[in-house]
Amino acid sequence: MHNKNERLILNSDELRRAITRIAHEILERNKGAKDLVLVGLHTRGVPLAQRIAKTINSIEGTNLPIGKLDISLYRDDFIGRAKPIIKSTELPVPIEDQVVILVDDVLYTGRSIRAAMDALTDFGRAKSIQLAVLVDRGHREVPIRPDYIGKNIPTSRNEAVSVRLEEVDCLEGVTLAPNPGLIINERSDGKRGLED
Amino acid sequence: MSPHAGIPSLKPLASNRFDERKHVLDLDDFTPGEIQLVLDNALAMQEVMGRSVRKVPALRGKTIVTLFHEPSTRTRASFEQAGKILSADVINISDSASSAKKGESLYNTALSIQAMQADIIVVRHPHSGSTNFLARHLNSSIINAGDGYHAHPSQALLDLYTIQSHFGDIKNRKVVIVGDILYSRVARSNLWGLTKMGARVTLCAPPTLMPPDFINGFSKDHPFKSVSVTHNLSEAIKDADVVMALRLQAERQSKGRLPSLREYSRLYGINREILSLANKKVIVMHPGPMNENVEINTEIAHGPHSVIQEQVKNGVAVRMALLYAVAAANRGGK
């Protein structure tokens, strides 16, 4: 991993097993794969949705539709957190009367999921919306809870959870590191330390 | 336009970083990366426009004022629709209905609009440099929707977007800009945009409608050094991927610089014969409004090579991307 203070929480095998378990739980809860649509949130929710769909397809012999959602235009904290690049939003099928499984990597304040639900509503009235996340790190600021969780990681707000996926990062694993916003640099005096 | 006495000190104009894009006055201060970002985001905006519910809440609670001191159909409507799809409140002020009719100066009108807490003011004005002047003296973001014959950046961006959507890229495409370049803000902003994106640009106009400092071409240290200049259309149009016809700006006296419209049309009008010299897949663009059968033949304007209606459609998406960029830059600013 990238630095000494970063702790490995899930390695690639554990990550794979977590995804397989989520796939099984989705099938169990929905009594099969009928009317399911998986929708990944950019960036890492998209490959996660693809992996979950692939697992479900291999179990059920289905070919689940997979969508992508960018929530930049729906954020309530647009003024403070707008990201300059808006990625593509694609829903391959009408979501009317479908069961939409939203997929994201880390669930934290819950605000992106609120925005994602607003975005989905603009596309139609789904039969239900369920939420699958790889990591739940707590600290919710809105009443949202996940339906499927890869791993619960108790964190403090000063810690950063990093999910790395082959498709995006050329690496696999979930890590926890102290203090987002503080990057560990080689200091000019040669000692390792925290700097802004 | 002289600065008023007692105006607060000059504010810095737009910087090079996207997240600090406060004003859009011309494309001269855009980096190629920033232009590409607007084009990429316009693609996402196009997707929003294709939905059955064409509305996203991104600019909810923001106020956009369009202040037009010159007639316009497309640009004003386009900015208005862009703002409304992004959920901003849009107020339109046009010359005939504003206090300008009573003799109020542009500065005082704009100050009042700012006092009503407009976040973004979209300005069109017959004087070149008027939007730069407003940007220096107001806190609101200024988007130039055409100032005299200086600049029309949103038009240039939508032209770039249209070229990119047709060919997949802009770099090394041969673009011929034909007609009244002297009075054309569209040509000037396109020169910046196209050269920054690596297109091969040729300007073609009768010598009387070519800016005097363009006529002999550009020196090696000029930002437009890659641009060639000619008055011979059949030479210019050879292998062109894009032909951009410009409107003959009759209201800016361009008529007085020509022997007759008929002769102009014969030598510089885009017709089937001249177009046959271009690349087979050539696209023909026009910023509108057209003088049909002057700078472009009806047959071409509505023919298979024409992308003129597409330009109008793309204009909304590109202006959404611009408004989004400027609003994002304003975060926590005031």
Domain holding A86, by residue range, is 12-155
Closest CA of chain A from B332, distance in Å: 7
By the 10 Å C-beta count (0-12 exposed, 13-18 middle, 19+ buried), B95 is classed as: middle
Inform me whether the C-beta atom of residue A78 falls under 8 Å from chain B C-beta atoms: yes
Are the Cβ atoms of A87 and B44 closer than 8 angstroms? Answer: yes
Candidates A78, A86, A90; nearest CB to B41: A86
Average pLDDT over residues B243-247: 97
Which residues is B296 bridged to in the sheet?
B270, B292
Name the helix (H) or strand (E) containing B50: none
**Residue A5: pLDDT band by 50, 70, 90 thresholds?**
confident
pLDDT at A83: 56
pLDDT at A181: 54
Are the Cβ atoms of A88 and B37 closer than 8 angstroms? Answer: no
- The reply to whether A38 falls in a domain is yes
Task: Output phi, psi for A173, to 5 deg.
Answer: 145, 160
Candidates A70, A74, A78; nearest CB to B44: A70
- The reply to whether A30 falls in a domain is yes
- The reply to whether A71 falls in a domain is yes
Candidates B41, B48, B330; nearest CB to A85: B41
Question: Does B328 or A70 have the greater pLDDT score?
Answer: A70
Taking Cα atoms as reference points, which of B240, B21, B54 lies closest to residue B141? B21
Q: What is the DSSP string of B159-199?
A: HHHHHHHHHS--TT-EEEEES--TT-HHHHHHHHHHHHTT-
- What's the CA gap between A90 and A111, in Å, rounded? 21
Q: What is the CATH number of the domain that holds A55?
A: 3.40.50.2020
Cβ-proximal residues to A65 (8 Å cutoff; 6+ apart), any chain: A37, A38, A92, A93
- The reply to whether A164 falls in a domain is no
Task: Output phi, psi for A106, to 5 deg.
Answer: -125, 130
* Residue A77 with chain B: CB contacts under 8 Å: none
Indicate the pairing of strand B141-147 with strand B89-94. unpaired
Q: Which of A10-14, A72-76, B328-332 has the highest mean pLDDT?
A: A10-14
Are the Cβ atoms of A74 and B56 closer than 8 angstroms? Answer: yes
- What's the CA gap between B83 and B59, in Å, rounded? 8
- What's the CA gap between B282 and B173, in Å, rounded? 10
Count of structural domains within chain A:
1
Which residues is A68 bridged to in the sheet?
A40, A90
**Residue A3: pLDDT band by 50, 70, 90 thresholds?**
low
Query: At A6, which amino acid appears?
Result: E
Closest CA of chain A from B38, distance in Å: 9
Question: Does B95 or A99 have the greater pLDDT score?
Answer: A99
Inform me whether the C-beta atom of residue A117 falls under 8 Å from chain B C-beta atoms: no
- The reply to whether A175 falls in a domain is no
Are the Cβ atoms of B44 and A80 closer than 8 angstroms? Answer: no
- The reply to whether A182 falls in a domain is no
Are the Cβ atoms of B57 and A72 closer than 8 angstroms? Answer: no
Inform me whether the C-beta atom of residue A194 falls under 8 Å from chain B C-beta atoms: no
Cβ-proximal residues to A51 (8 Å cutoff; 6+ apart), any chain: A19
- The reply to whether A171 falls in a domain is no
Asked whether the predicted pLDDT for residue B4 surpasses 50, the reply is: no
**Residue B98: pLDDT band by 50, 70, 90 thresholds?**
confident
- Please name each of the domains of chain B with its CATH number: 18-152+313-329 (3.40.50.1370), 154-311 (3.40.50.1370)
3-state secondary structure of A101: strand
Asked whether A193 and A21 are in contact (CB, 8 A), the reply is no
Candidates B37, B51, B86; nearest CB to A84: B37
Q: What is the ipTM of this complex?
A: 0.80
pLDDT at A84: 74
| pLDDT tens by residue, B54-85 | 999 999 999 999 999 998 889 999 999 999 99
Closest CA of chain A from B321, distance in Å: 9
- The reply to whether A163 falls in a domain is no
Asked whether B37 and B329 are in contact (CB, 8 A), the reply is no
| pLDDT tens by residue, A116-173 | 999 999 999 999 999 999 999 999 999 999 999 999 999 999 999 999 999 999 999 9
- What's the CA gap between B41 and B168, in Å, rounded? 15
